Amino acid sequence: MFKRVILESWHDYVPYVCFALIAGAFLVILIRAILMKSGDAERLASMPLLDDEDLRQARQSQSSDTARR
């Protein structure tokens, strides 16, 4: 049954290439986070997040706006 599956030699390198791409993306994000100015980090950390009730109200107002159209 497995005699019909023909693996080429370049198929051996696919996992290494994928790992290198993911590791590279992770390193880029990590370096950007490390080099971020403290003012930018504080600004991002102080961004308000919606409470559950606020999120529910925002969704209801959006759905009522689209229902009128």
Residue 66 has pLDDT above 70, yes or no: no
Question: Pick from 40, 58, 36: which is nearest to 49 by CA?
Answer: 58
Q: Which domain holds residue 21?
A: 2-68
CA distances for 54 relative to 3, 48, 65, 68, angstroms: 60, 12, 16, 21
How many domains does the chain divide into?
A: 1
**How confident is the prediction for the chain on average, in pLDDT?**
83
Residue 50 has pLDDT above 80, yes or no: no
Question: Pick from 32, 55, 52: which is nearest to 44 by CA?
Answer: 32
Q: What is the pTM (predicted TM-score) of this model?
A: 0.56
Q: 23 or 1, which is more confident?
A: 23
Q: How confident is the model at residue 36 (pLDDT cuts 50, 70, 90)?
A: very high
CA 3: distance to chain centroid?
Answer: 40
